[in-house]
Amino acid sequence: MKQRIQFYLNRIKEGRLQEMWLQTKWIYSYARHYWKAMIFYTALGMVGTVVSLLSSLVSRDLVDIITGHQTGKVVETFAIMIGLQIGTMVMNQVSNYFSGYISMKVDAEIKSDIFSKILVTDWESLTGYHTGDLLTRWGSDASAISSGVLNFVPNLIITVFRFISALVVMAYHDVSFVIFAFLGMPVSLIMSKTLMNRMVNNNKRSAAMGAKMSGFNQEAFSNIQTIKAFDLTGAYTGKLKKLQKEYIDMRLEFQRMSMGTSFILSLVSMLVSYSAYAWGIYRVWSGAITYGSMTMFLGLSGTLTGSVHNLTSLIPSIISLTTSAGRLMDIVEMPREDYSNKDDVKSFWEQNKQKGISLQVNEVDYAYKTGTKVFEGASLEVNPGEIVALVGPSGEGKTTMLRLILSLIAGQSGEAHLRGNLNNESVDLTPSTRFLFSYVPQGNTMFSGTIAENMRNIKEDATDEEIQKALELACAWEFVSKLPDGIHSKVQERGGGFSEGQAQRLSIARALLRDTPILLLDEATSALDVATERKVLKNIMSDDNPRTCIVTTHRPTVLSACTRVYAIRDRRCEVLNEQEIEELVRGF
């Protein structure tokens, strides 16, 4: 007993109760929007309890009438009993409907809110989580909360009301039966505490294991081509089976503990029931109560025991809910991106549409959270009508520089801003400036759907003519026009159905369709032949838009089309002269 008390004191000192309270408040920040439906659901449950008690009383009268051979009231009492049963069934259906309604609405709201918050969460912080873990938290944890909301406050009120009302009715007719009803409660409470402690650990382990399996599956299906190419099907099947075994073993461990607990509770419940039954027979034989009263008492005794079980089961439920809430709060409480200067950026753009925008990065330092330094005093400048190249070995920081420009990450010092060419007005690079950029990242970034749908992901109101023009600029129309369905041809997941070069040209077309003043190409022409690559770059800079363009590349053939070439060396960006560029081309 002393150890148990110390356990709970330690939990309080660790702040677990306060943590659970904050998580509970977070859950009901969503659920409170449906308080009317929840009140109605609670009221239905309480009315159902009253109807159930009335049914017990009518059942008692019916038994007494039959055993007393009072046939004149049988039909009337039986009709009342049927009416009450029908009423109970109707209310149960209505209650289930509202329960489902609330759960679905809360589920949709939580998932929608979490989804929108994940999208504006600091990108660098978000990369600390595996995609599978994010999917598990967003999917399973959100669903656990929405389905469990009604297992707390409304069901708590309903269960307490059911317990008190059954106790009052039982005590009013015969106090002695109350004693038998309470006999099994101490055992139920003790076993529920044991179950609760195990459930806390099990929920955390289960959530972590679920995220691990989700991540494995997501990566395996995303890289199925690589798995096949390296003949790793057997190895990955083995890995899956190993993960499944770990999960099954964990669940079975908890299941065995639950079975033991349930067996003891069932055994205690059976002993209490038979004791109450024996006491009821004795009371009937002694003439203290009727047969009908005995059956009513036995039913109410089950109601009391069931209510206690339900009340104690709410403890593991709230632990499960708060565990899921805590996992979601870990995500939504990460640093958010700052869009506070969005109006200033829009005004800046309106003033500089005609002349274009320059990009300047001055003396920027950046290091990963691990402490690895990428840039120290890095600077570069790009003006409208220019194509500027970033070159350097893999892993030296070319993509990192583009992420800094897009404000996906922030430098520890230095400044980066956009400058207008009308009056030299400038705005700092922030998440709000992203709408001025079009970005073609490395790899295949096409979505499943049609070519037109992919294009309109960037510009919803784009006409077919605008899409065709963008495809022509990216040298993609030459193969799209030959497809049976043209721009309405299907694109499979990750650009399936098209070659890497075709997918790159579609991605470039999508970026051009957005018609922004700054274009970022991250190895975006690596899969194109030299002639097509030159033509694409020429088209990009020959339209009427005073575009500013930055390309990262390993291919020296691009460099001849560039205004300036920056090489990333010693964590800085250095402008190469013509001789250095020629040497770079020769050494390729």
413-440 average pLDDT score:
86
Residue pair 241/248 in contact by the 8 Å Cβ criterion: no
Chain segment 119-129, per-residue pLDDT in tens: 888 887 887 78
Chain segment 54-98, per-residue pLDDT in tens: 888 887 777 777 776 455 577 777 788 788 788 878 877 887 787
Write down the pTM of the prediction: 0.70
Query: Residue 38: which of 160, 153, 195 has the closest Cα?
Result: 153
Looking at the predicted structure, is the pLDDT value of residue 243 above 70?
yes
Order across the sheet with 426-428: list the strands: 373-382, 357-367, 413-420, 426-428
Q: Angle at the Cα of 165 (from 162 to 169), degrees rounded to 5? A: 135
Q: Rounded to an integer, what distance in angstroms lies between the CA atom of residue 233 and that of residue 72?
A: 77
Chain segment 8-42, per-residue pLDDT in tens: 445 444 556 677 778 778 887 777 777 777 788 78
CA 326 to chain centroid, in Å, comes to: 12
Split at pLDDT 50, 70, 90, the class of 212 is: confident
Q: Rounded to an integer, what distance in angstroms lies between the CA atom of residue 244 and that of residue 210?
A: 10
The pLDDT assigned to 12 comes to: 45
Split at pLDDT 50, 70, 90, the class of 1 is: very low
Half-sphere exposure at residue 475, Cβ-oriented, CA atoms within 13 angstroms: 18
SS3 373: strand
The pLDDT assigned to 5 comes to: 45
Architecture of the domain spanning 23-332? Up-down Bundle (1.20)
The pLDDT assigned to 380 comes to: 92
The backbone torsions φ and ψ at residue 517, rounded to the nearest 5 degrees and listed phi first, read -75, -20
Which has more pLDDT, 143 or 422?
Answer: 143
The pLDDT assigned to 9 comes to: 47
Chain segment 194-205, per-residue pLDDT in tens: 555 565 566 667
Split at pLDDT 50, 70, 90, the class of 465 is: very high
Check whether domain 342-586 has CATH 3.40.50.300, yes or no: yes
Q: What does the mean pLDDT of the chain come to? A: 79
Which has more pLDDT, 267 or 196?
Answer: 267
The terminus-to-terminus CA distance of the chain in angstroms comes to: 76
Residues near 155 by Cβ (< 8 Å), separated by ≥ 6? 45, 310, 314
The pLDDT assigned to 515 comes to: 82
Split at pLDDT 50, 70, 90, the class of 48 is: confident
Residue pair 20/325 in contact by the 8 Å Cβ criterion: no
Looking at the predicted structure, is the pLDDT value of residue 416 above 70?
yes
Residue pair 537/507 in contact by the 8 Å Cβ criterion: no
Looking at the predicted structure, is the pLDDT value of residue 4 above 50?
no
Which has more pLDDT, 455 or 198?
Answer: 455
Chain segment 269-283, per-residue pLDDT in tens: 677 667 777 777 777
The pLDDT assigned to 266 comes to: 67
Looking at the predicted structure, is the pLDDT value of residue 139 above 60?
yes
Report the range of poorest mean pLDDT among 52-66, 202-216, 462-476. 202-216
Tokens of 372: 């690895």
Q: Rounded to an integer, what distance in angstroms lies between the CA atom of residue 42 and that of residue 39?
A: 5
- Are 23-332 and 342-586 the same fold in CATH? no
Chain segment 164-193, per-residue pLDDT in tens: 888 888 788 777 777 766 665 565 555 555
Looking at the predicted structure, is the pLDDT value of residue 104 above 70?
yes
Q: Rounded to an integer, what distance in angstroms lies between the CA atom of residue 276 and that of residue 182?
A: 11
Residue pair 388/440 in contact by the 8 Å Cβ criterion: no
Q: Rounded to an integer, what distance in angstroms lies between the CA atom of residue 457 and that of residue 459?
A: 6
The pLDDT assigned to 195 comes to: 55
Contacts of the segment 185-188: beta carbons below 8 A, 24+ positions apart: 185/305, 185/308, 187/264, 187/265, 187/268, 188/265, 188/268, 188/305, 188/308, 188/309, 188/312
Q: Rounded to an integer, what distance in angstroms lies between the CA atom of residue 162 and that of residue 52?
A: 9
Chain segment 293-345, per-residue pLDDT in tens: 777 877 777 777 777 667 766 666 777 778 888 888 888 888 888 888 889 98
Q: Please give, one letter per residue, the 3-state secondary structure of 491-544.
A: ECHHHCCCCHHHHHHHHHHHHHHCCCCEEEEECCCCCCCHHHHHHHHHHHHHCC
The pLDDT assigned to 365 comes to: 92
> Measured on CA atoms in the order 190, 191, 194, 199, is the torsion positive or negative?
negative
Q: Taking the domains of the chain in order of start, what are their residue ranges?
A: 23-332, 342-586
* DSSP calls for 533-573: HHHHHHHHHHSSS--EEEEE-S-GGGGGG-SEEEEEETTEE
Chain segment 363-393, per-residue pLDDT in tens: 999 988 777 888 999 999 999 888 898 988 7
Q: Rounded to an integer, what distance in angstroms lies between the CA atom of residue 504 and that of residue 40?
A: 56
